[in-house]
Structure 1
Amino acid sequence: MALSFLRPNVIARHVKKQFYQNKRNAGYVVLIPEIGEDADKNILLSENGLPEFNDITIEKCIAAISKQSLEYENGVQQIEQSAQNCKNAFVEIFQPLEKLDGQLELTWGMAKTLYLGNSSLMPTKSYIQIHERAHKARSAKFNSVPIFQSAVNEKNRLKKLTDEEQRLLDKYVLEGRLNGLDIKGAKRERLNNLLTSLQKERQMFRDKVNIANKVFASTVEDGSVLREFPESLVKAMAVNSDPFKGPWKVTLQPHIYEPFMQYCPDRELRWNTWQAYVQRCSNYVNKEIETSTNLEKIRSLRHEQANILGFDTFVDMSMETKMAGTVDNVNNILESLLESAKPMQEVEVELLQRFAKDRGFDSKLAHWDIPYWQRKQKWSLYNFDEDKIREYFPLPRVITSLFNLCSTLFKIQIVERTGVHTWHKDVKFYDVFDSSSNSPVAGFYLDPYARQDEKIRVHDDAGWHISIRNKSSVTGTTPLSALIFNFQAPIEGKQSLLSFKEVGILFQRFGHSLRHLLTKANYSEVAGLSNVEWDAAEVCGQVMTHWLYDPHTIHAISGHYKTDEPLPEEIVKNLQNVRGHMSGYNLCNELYLSKLDLELHSKKTFWRDVVRELWPQYHVLPFDKYDSHPLSFTKIFSEEWGAAYYCHLWSKMIAADIYSAFEEAKQGGEDVVSVGKRYRDTFLAFGGSCHPSEVFRRFRGRDPSPHALLNNLGLSKKIVEE
């Protein structure tokens, strides 16, 4: 059964499975060997307590996870027995569970790190085995009625609890409720059957979309079409070994489709590709892989699941694990943002139409024209070209400056440690020191470069943060994590050069990792990134990216890799303009998808009717009657973002509001470093041990507002002050 608080797993979109397979019901995953010959000792750790990455094999991982999973399940059973006469749940239940968690989480985290860092050492099939076995074992405590009941009883005792203790109990109670532990008899049986059916429908939806992405192919013979294409796109589209000879193939895979729509000058080719993209999995294309039936079935099953668990809709159920708290709060924010974004979208599309007309485009702009002319306009207005400014962002300089910024703001030192076992020679290990401690408070691995056939590539997710080990005062462990990216490797003595977008990815992932590394919580179950509400989970990463629009920071991290000359002042000034370019249009699209998700999961209206009703409220361009985009909306139907797509936007809003405190300090009244300390003492220290609404109030002294986000996007002129 899916656990509501566990973050969406990184493997979800990479797993390739046979189409129309029979999905196995929840049960033991049989692994061979179930317990390996070395499983009696900790075979995966070296003497310094860090993973023995250079000596880890699939067999050792499987042996360790098998042994630890069995021990975990047996341990949960023993704790269940002691729960019957429990006098102090923290001492008798939750602290023993902490000890059980440690080893299993570490091995699981190591396997995930290898899977993303070197898939030749940890192929997908092997990782899926390990993941499913560990996931099933860890689920035992959240599916335990005695543990659930102990948490309920402890909450009901008239006893003063710390914020962290309260959050820990709340987590076990909520997980138990959402897993139906307080439901008995026929209802419980129906819930179990329903969740099995739901899992099957979601997998089928995913499989069909994956097939649809591969079915369409359009061949480009004329090399002149590719004259403005980035080299990486030309190589990705190449059919032959020589990428510059042609022909070239257009597919609907995101890493090809998205840049192709931006760079292709041939309008007919763009239209053909766009209509194939938005009609994926519809009856207009191929009835065998249509997903309309699966989509409606998923909606129906989710609605019934929510009803059984005592909620009116699936959205209401989803809000139990969100900072927003209620769908009304979400809708109020979405409407407030739309009020500013929609009028700006109308102006932006009109200006883009004029821009295109001045350059010989004599038609009315359509959906398939926007990405192309948007890119052209951005270059014309701001002389901004991602590939051309790479030379100013050599990776070593960017990393050093990022560490220096964190050192200044949060009073930490990040020091490389040599002689540590890693999974590749390019991987470095760093200790994190606190100003108040001589020993490291945390550590992390950094694996920066793309490696052909070794690393998983995903176009919209160019980096990962993996929590290998959580902080726990009970077991005396410090946080350990891995940051894995796919940046271009140094070539012939030339340093790795990052695009501005990649610099943003590095800052975002590192900011995200700080919440894990600098947590002060005592229980691993609520430490760092654990137990953070979904719509607050991306906040700390987003806060870090805002520093890239601070002139002092951008000057510190940039310098030409040959001459060290600074990034041209014109580009520095234009970075803010680039961020706000067509921001009304882009924001309206995110608002539309967020609202669509909420409507589909709160109403029973047929999906196409929901789309037709919502579209004109958010878009200036008319709806194309063949557009069937919900049928390939995998994030909400096959991944974990159902009734939660808005979370990305909510996190951005919270992050913008947090960063505005730093901006206010720069303008006088408070020292930036003291704001950094307050941020560290709240968002980075609490992690999931305090509700994010309360954490925000302790940092900002008020509730959040969308004004800072609108201001960053250049949309604040439309704000009507309350």
Structure 2
Amino acid sequence: MKMALTRCGRLISTTRKFYTSSGLNQGYIVLVPEIGEDAPEKNPLYHTDGLPKFNQITIENCRAAIAKQTLDFEVGVQEIEKQITENPCVDVFKDIVVPLEHLGHVMETTWGLSKTLYLGNNTLMPTSSYMAIHDRARRARFSKFTSKKIHFAMKEEFSKEKKRSSEEDRILKKYVLEGRLNGLELSEKISKSMLYNLSTLAKERSEFKHKNDINTKQHAQMVSDRTIVRDFPDDLLKAVAVDPSYHLNGPWKFTLQPHVYFRLLEHCPNRDIRWLLWKSNVNRGSVGGERELATSLHVEEIRFLKADIAKLLGYNSCVDMSMETKMAGSKQAVDQMFESLLERAKPAQDEELEVLLEYANERGFKTDRLELWDIPYWRRKHRISLYNYEEEKFKEYFPLNKVLDGLFELSENLFNIVIKARTGVTTWHKDVRFYDIFESHSSAPIASFYLDPYARSDDKLRVQNPGWMIGMQSKSQVTDSKPLASLIFNFEPPKGEFQSHLTFEEVRSLFQKFGHALQHLLTRTYYSEVAGSSNVEWDAVEVCSNVLPHWLYNKKVIDSITSHRDSGDTLPQSMFQTLCDTQKHMAGYDLCREMYLSALDLELYSSKDFWMDIVKRLWPKYRSFEYHIKYDAHPCSFMQIFTDEWGAAYYSHLWARMIAADVYSAFHEVRDNDQQIRDVGKRFRDTFLALGGSEHPGQVFREFRGRDPSPKALLKSLGIKKVNESI
């Protein structure tokens, strides 16, 4: 049976095998699912035109299809192993990669279809059904990376001095690295130790998550005083009301759930309540709370196990192992970026806090220092005071259809494509739209995507997420398949004669997810193994999604996506300037916080020091606040790096933003010349959008920009300058 665990920012997949006196048995243990005799050989869920049969799909045929396809894939891997054992492998691409492309194609499309249904119509695809499909498909897919025969055939080929394309080199390197990280080069004794560590790590992570979930749910403050909630927006009132049907009447329940916690700190005027919320949040897992729910020992054990696994695989630390799959390449490169950013961000943070304290003091705040539980509340009020920013007023200017028209027009102009809506396509809901993408000179589409824009309380999964991009089918010349994607959001639906309008943050999310989709849809690679974001280093995966939102601070683009609900006017210059100013408000504070968390993650997974000692060392370097050691145990609830996939990789979000800002600066430099903008757009398409994971992102960036990346563009975009310096 196959066991897959996430560690150090990578999915590490190991195959459990029978042990015999002579060593490891090479066969997989395959659990054969029940499959109907009439199951077709090809994907039963798709029409001959490559589009899903949404009007015929059921949970049962999704599960039956994935059961057969995953079994076919695993048996196919065994067949490849048998063939390369019996006959020397002359051409690994012909004998291994191409067969695996064919085997994986139908499984990947069924998997993508199932995820789309799960997020778009939870009635057709409940969570339990999707997770069963997801886990089964993931186990099958990684069987190609846990085959010793395939690994060593790829490794032998990679060692040969041959003239190959960069795409072929990247595929070979991917198989070799995945196999090594999965322990395929370890001795039997060390392999047993690694399996034990992985099993123990899974238990520790599960226990850490379980205790944090309980800690999060335990805190609740009942509030009945209406003066405390008088400035709450309506949706927040409903979210915290004991009875949402009577949310104006109360009482209200304040919790630590992420979708309400941060907004409560922003809107709650009572400092004592904010303090209790903040303290309860950062104290989760602390030994100062309920001892049976403390997670400090789990933190240390997870760190130890990951460090031990890294050493078994030949690395000095978990961070060193993680950097094998990152654009940065080393902790030193990330540290250098931090130092460059911190030189300006820390003084900017100090200045911002001084200004905010002065503002708060003028409005009745009686102490001489702002604490972390004060910042969100006074920051929101300060932003409103400075810029008169009111979300609902801006929302009146962003009708969804107008935003889509402008977004598509921008993409067409930059990347020389045409986006057309197509009718008559079956979908999972009547609100879903379908679009084809064409080259400007062609009549046949090169890619297609679904767009499901509206929230639906009855059948659509709704979590605190700005939206999703799902790659339903990848580009592959081997299988002659075109990219297919789905974009799913929870925007406010139309009401009667009034069309859907978006908040500015929702507009940003739409631009982000569409940028991510374009990387999937406009890829030009030969193999799906490196198409789109596949095989792109983790810290570069979010680059494309972070480039398009920069265009929202271009007045021409804003004019193309705005039309007032009543007058039809575009966004006035004064309001546009407000958007530009608000994104820079307290940017130094935000950047220092993000760097602190990123540095904390890297230190936790590279240092042997106790976690609290690491916090004490890093805190004053990045944060301009006293560290409340008695209450604050925030690493003990840092879920992203201990239970999610971002251990030793949390910095990736910030790294991708830095790269994206530098990419956009190439457009900004020629902003007054339309032809030069199109030239830069073509260069961006030919590199970041087209190459996918077929080249290292460092090389992709150099091909696009002609140099290595710099953090200067990020600082400039955030308005962070040296003290007393003007931009």
How far, CA to CA, are the matches of 2:188 and 2:437 in structure 1? 51
Of the three residues 615, 622, 646, the one matched with 1:618 is 622
How far, CA to CA, are the matches of 1:6 and 1:474 in structure 2? 33
Aligned-pair CA distance for 1:47: 3.5
Structure 2 counterpart of 1:283? 287
Structure 1 counterpart of 2:685? 680
Q: 1:385 and 2:386 equivalent?
A: no
Structure 1 counterpart of 2:455? 450
How far, CA to CA, are the matches of 1:601 and 1:719 in structure 2? 38
Aligned-pair CA distance for 1:39: 4.8
CA displacement 1:145-202 (0-9 Å, x = unmatched): 1111111111122210101001010100110010011112110111112112212222
Aligned-pair CA distance for 1:453: 4.6
Conserved 8 A contact 2:348-2:589? yes
User: 2:670 is paired with a residue of what secondary structure?
Assistant: helix
Conserved 8 A contact 1:54-1:423? yes
Matches within 5 A, 1:192-271: 192-240=195-243, 241-271=245-275
Aligned-pair CA distance for 1:283: 2.1
CA displacement 1:510-538 (0-9 Å, x = unmatched): 00110000000010000111000000000
Q: Structure 2-normalised TM-score?
A: 0.94
How far, CA to CA, are the matches of 1:621 and 1:168 in structure 2? 47
Matches within 5 A, 1:532-547: 532-547=536-551
How far, CA to CA, are the matches of 1:356 and 1:505 in structure 2? 31
Aligned-pair CA distance for 1:720: 10
Conserved 8 A contact 1:314-1:643? yes
Conserved 8 A contact 2:475-2:531? yes
How far, CA to CA, are the matches of 1:150 and 1:303 in structure 2? 29
Q: How much identity, in percent, do the aligned residues show?
A: 51
User: 1:467 is paired with a residue of what secondary structure?
Assistant: strand
Structure 1 counterpart of 2:188? 185
Tell me which amino acid in the other structure corresponds to 1:334.
F
The count of corresponding residues between Structure 1 and Structure 2 is 703
Q: 1:524 and 2:528 equivalent?
A: yes
Matches within 5 A, 1:42-191: 42-84=43-85, 85-191=88-194
Structure 2 counterpart of 1:434? 439
Conserved 8 A contact 2:595-2:622? yes
Conserved 8 A contact 2:7-2:645? no
Aligned-pair CA distance for 1:668: 5.5
User: 2:583 is paired with a residue of what secondary structure?
Assistant: helix
Tell me which amino acid in the other structure corresponds to 1:287.
R
How far, CA to CA, are the matches of 2:176 and 2:458 in structure 1? 44
- Does 666-675 or 636-645 show the bigger shift? 666-675
Aligned-pair CA distance for 1:500: 0.6
- Residue 34 to residue 604, structure 1, CA distance change in 2 (3 Å): farther
- Does 657-666 or 78-87 show the bigger shift? 78-87
- Residue 682 to residue 83, structure 1, CA distance change in 2 (3 Å): same
User: 2:222 is paired with a residue of what secondary structure?
Assistant: strand
Matches within 5 A, 1:641-680: 641-667=646-672, 671-680=676-685
Conserved 8 A contact 1:120-1:454? yes
Gaps spanning 5+ residues in structure 2: where? 12-27
Aligned-pair CA distance for 1:669: 10
How far, CA to CA, are the matches of 1:465 and 1:7 in structure 2? 20
How far, CA to CA, are the matches of 2:418 and 2:519 in structure 1? 16
How far, CA to CA, are the matches of 1:47 and 1:113 in structure 2? 19
Q: 1:496 and 2:500 equivalent?
A: yes
Structure 1 counterpart of 2:320? 316
Q: 1:698 and 2:712 equivalent?
A: no
Conserved 8 A contact 2:8-2:649? no
Conserved 8 A contact 2:10-2:322? no
How far, CA to CA, are the matches of 1:147 and 1:71 in structure 2? 17
- Does 570-579 or 647-656 show the bigger shift? 570-579
Tell me which amino acid in the other structure corresponds to 1:319.
M
How far, CA to CA, are the matches of 2:454 and 2:303 in structure 1? 40
- Does 705-714 or 604-613 show the bigger shift? 604-613
Q: Structure 1-normalised TM-score?
A: 0.95
How far, CA to CA, are the matches of 2:650 and 2:644 in structure 1? 10
User: 1:466 is paired with a residue of what secondary structure?
Assistant: strand
User: 1:415 is paired with a residue of what secondary structure?
Assistant: strand
Conserved 8 A contact 1:464-1:484? yes
- Residue 267 to residue 358, structure 1, CA distance change in 2 (3 Å): same
How far, CA to CA, are the matches of 1:8 and 1:185 in structure 2? 23
- Residue 497 to residue 166, structure 1, CA distance change in 2 (3 Å): same
How far, CA to CA, are the matches of 2:724 and 2:551 in structure 1? 24
Tell me which amino acid in the other structure corresponds to 2:616.
R
Conserved 8 A contact 1:417-1:431? yes
Conserved 8 A contact 2:413-2:678? yes
How far, CA to CA, are the matches of 2:404 and 2:586 in structure 1? 30
Aligned-pair CA distance for 1:491: 1.6
Tell me which amino acid in the other structure corresponds to 2:251.
P
How far, CA to CA, are the matches of 2:484 and 2:5 in structure 1? 23
How far, CA to CA, are the matches of 2:8 and 2:345 in structure 1? 33
- Residue 154 to residue 410, structure 1, CA distance change in 2 (3 Å): same
- Residue 484 to residue 37, structure 1, CA distance change in 2 (3 Å): same
Structure 2 counterpart of 1:556? 560
Conserved 8 A contact 1:490-1:496? yes
Aligned-pair CA distance for 1:48: 2.4
Tell me which amino acid in the other structure corresponds to 1:157.
K
Q: 1:710 and 2:715 equivalent?
A: yes
Conserved 8 A contact 2:536-2:697? yes
Aligned-pair CA distance for 1:598: 0.3
User: 1:180 is paired with a residue of what secondary structure?
Assistant: coil
Conserved 8 A contact 2:8-2:646? no
Aligned-pair CA distance for 1:413: 0.9
CA displacement 1:610-637 (0-9 Å, x = unmatched): 1111111111111112101111111110
How far, CA to CA, are the matches of 2:38 and 2:69 in structure 1? 14
User: 2:253 is paired with a residue of what secondary structure?
Assistant: strand
- Residue 153 to residue 602, structure 1, CA distance change in 2 (3 Å): same
RMSD (Å), alpha carbons: 1.9
Structure 2 counterpart of 1:12? none
CA displacement 1:24-67 (0-9 Å, x = unmatched): xxx97968644575455532012322011222111101100000
Of the three residues 425, 430, 449, the one matched with 1:425 is 430
